[in-house]
Amino acid sequence: MNNKNEKQKKYNIYLCTLGCAKNVSDSDMAAGLLEERGHHIVHHPMDSDVIMVNTCGFINDAKKESIDKILEMAGLKDEGEKKRLLIVSGCLSKRYGADLFEEMPEVDIFIGVNEYHRLPDILEAHQAKRELHIEDCAPDFMELSSRKLADNPYTATVKIAEGCNNVCAYCVIPHIRGHFRSRREEDILQEAEMLAQRGCKELILIAQDVTAYGVDLYGEFRLAALVKKLCRIDGLQWIRLMYCYEDRITDELIEVMASEEKVCHYLDIPIQHSSDVILERMNRRSTHQSIVSKLEKLRKAIPDIHIRTTLITGFPGETKAEFDELYDFVQEMKFERLGVFAYSKEEGTPAADMDGQVRRDVKEKRRDSIMRLQVELSLECNQKKIGQVLPVLVEEQDEDGTYIGRTPYDAPEIDNSVLFTSQRELKPGDLVQVRIEDAFDYDIVGVEV
């Protein structure tokens, strides 16, 4: 691969994506740009000339998963008759690029989260020498002209902003992704139109904080106005909002969610804790009372709303009393969807240097305690659906006549599934009506009507 004449070679490229939906979006864009230049995306590493691992570097478990995957892919570089290039991109690369460059000679090219627009040039110009391409500062939000989509993109994410200006004491995202920057409304609408024309039925708006959308470009929060315009696009049937900060969920946004039929009655609100003491140490803007008041307002305006949240146990200084307060809060609020993380000490964050670091076994015991409670609450929520007829988006066929799908109350990959039977042949992306007949901890069962 070090012959200069190979600069124009067209590569078969295998993309392996780890982490959140924002990483998936980045990989889609990278794949589109590569295909525009004549390269080919393949679905198995053994069919490739180039392997690219798009990593996550948010918390320790994600870092370990990323490193394990890099090493796994490195083991395939010389398998078979090909000698493959290995590229590592994404958050882990951005955060630890210089160290990884020294410690992982198996990797040929490192890029961060801001270099995808240059990836075709970097790849085509690559010679034998290993390369590190990590920009220190995040550029203005760059519109990429291409995006590779699945053959049947019935559900798709649209990134409406990049970066984050929140300075939560435990979080490295602002360091990795840069300052918050919104996309232009017209560019988002254009992408949504394209997705609808390709058959997209569920549009998922993503950003580190979607509720901050527009404040940097237009001087005001513009998420509600954007959602109303997206609802006018023919073909789109579900619009889902991910990662909403409690204090920025405006009355206008609630009204839009309540009145627009296409907007899923679902919000992902990362609350993290309920104790005012811990919330202040986390440098969160919310308080216990503001969270409770906002949840009550949402449930009054949208009675069937399903709220997903994430919590952190064992944050530095968390006492047993503060954990007990969190446990009681979960029991009282009865979140329909809930995930819990044991606090991960991340270097470079204020929380890493705080006094009162909690032992790992205590953090994990507290996490597991809440998750056991959530199993009971989830079953209770699911049992209330028995007898209801719900819209379901078909995702796969389990066996003849049996299918797996999701309701509007469930985001892909992280939430519940519906297992149901049908007397007719269905395909992924079909929207059907299902009567719910049984319920389990995290899934419900029914039959198409």
Give the annotated binding-site residues for [4Fe-4S] cluster.
20, 56, 91, 164, 168, 171
Binding residues: 20, 56, 91, 164, 168, 171
Pairing mode, strands 161-162 and 306-313: unpaired
Which helix (H) or strand (E) segment holds residue 197: the answer is: helix 185-197
Sequence-distant contacts of 184-192: CB under 8 A, at least 24 apart? 184/143, 184/217, 185/214, 185/222, 185/225, 185/226, 185/229, 187/143, 188/158, 188/160, 188/226, 188/230, 189/229, 189/230, 189/233, 191/147, 191/158, 192/158, 192/230, 192/233, 192/236
b/e map 179-190, b = 16+ CB within 10 Å: ebbbbebeebbe
Count other Cβ atoms within 10 Å, centred on residue 423. 8
Q: How far is Cα 37 from Cα 155, in angstroms, rounded to an integer?
A: 26
Q: What is the 3-state secondary structure of 81-150?
A: CCCCEEEEEEHHHHHHHHHHHHHCCCCCEEECCCCHHHHHHHHHHCCCCCEEECCCCCCCCCCCCCCCCC
Amino acid residing at 303 = P
Beta bridge partners of 309: 338
Q: DSSP letters along 214-266, please?
A: THHHHSS--HHHHHHHHTTSTT--EEEE----GGG--HHHHHHHHH-TTEEEE
